[in-house]
Amino acid sequence: MPLILDGNFVRDQIKAECRPLIERVRQHAGRPPGLAVILAGNDPASEIYVRGKTKTAGDLGIYNETITPPASVTTEELLEMVRDLNARPEIDGILVQLPLPKQVDAQRVLLAVAPEKDVDGFHPCNVGLLSTGRPGPRPCTPNGVIQLLRRYQIPMEGKNAVVVGRSDIVGKPMAILLLQENATVTICHSKTVDLPGVCRRADILVAAIGRPAMITADYIKPGAVVIDVGQSRIVSREQAEKIFAPERMADFDRRGSLLVGDVHPGDMARVSSAYTPVPGGVGPLTIAMLMRNTIESAERRTGLC
């Protein structure tokens, strides 16, 4: 039986480690770490995600606030909000929730966040710190994957790692972090020749391409460790029947949808030696690492490190 890599278990470990660090900041600075989230528009998935972030921050004792401009907000209005948050000493981390409304220049807004308050790790200054191995905020999802592998004592050094997807948010930083763990890393994308063959060489396969159940058994080396970063909601019964085992269809009929990652769940469980389920794998770690980034930002800004 393959090992199921439980993201909720690791998330709870990270949260427990955060509590004394938050208290240390409070005692040193006279305040807790502070996180501000800008949530523009009415994207349902973003609203759910932000609620999860603010709930976790509140549970841990991190000061947090959510700014909710309307969907009609302009780029200049958002830039003014970011400038205000940059200047506020009690705010250690700023997160601009994507996607932004179509009329907004998202790149300008993201670049306006002060690098020392960029707890997503997206600012070019922080990307440079990451790529050169210097201290700084790491993108939350890739860093969560590294924490998961470490805490389950899955060796990375000397292993062949394949990352499917080259996004700035997951694919590229994931590859850099795996390189820093001394893995031999290949990044794949839509133009990769013989993608299944390249993936089958992986001891560690990270799927972050955003296409539901695309990675099947043909892509997985027997005994590989499979990390499924994707998350898609399947609402078509016909599509669900192609992906899920018959016993899962009762869940589909009751809920009207099911979540699936980029890897076919049945094939992943059958071929791999260890894998992350969807949901409950990588997802819980993203928010946990955001909390850790916020605490580390507060430590740097208050002179604790």
Give the separation between CA 121 and CA 143, rounded to whole angstroms: 10
| Annotated catalytic residue, options 92, 118, 120, 228 | 120
Q: Would you call 153 a catalytic residue per the annotation? A: no
- Name the active-site residue from 53, 117, 159, 221: 53
What contacts 105, CB < 8 A, 6 or more positions away?
A: 75
Residue 159 is a catalytic residue:
no
**CA diameter of the chain:** 57
Residues in the chain: 305
Question: Would strands 258-260 and 232-234 be described as parallel, antiparallel, or unpaired?
Answer: antiparallel
C-alpha 102/C-alpha 44 separation (Å) is 16
Joined tokens for residue 134: 């210097």
Nearest Cα to Cα of residue 164 among 128, 131, 122, 202:
202
How crowded is residue 158: how many other Cβ atoms within 10 Å of its Cβ? 10
| Coil, helix or strand at residue 228 | strand
Q: Quick one: residue 71, left, alpha or beta (phi over 0 = left, psi -120 to 50 = alpha)? A: alpha
218 is catalytic: no
Which of these is catalytic: 97, 228, 262, 267?
Answer: 97
Q: 26: which 2 tokens?
A: 């409070």
Residues annotated as catalytic are 53, 97, 120
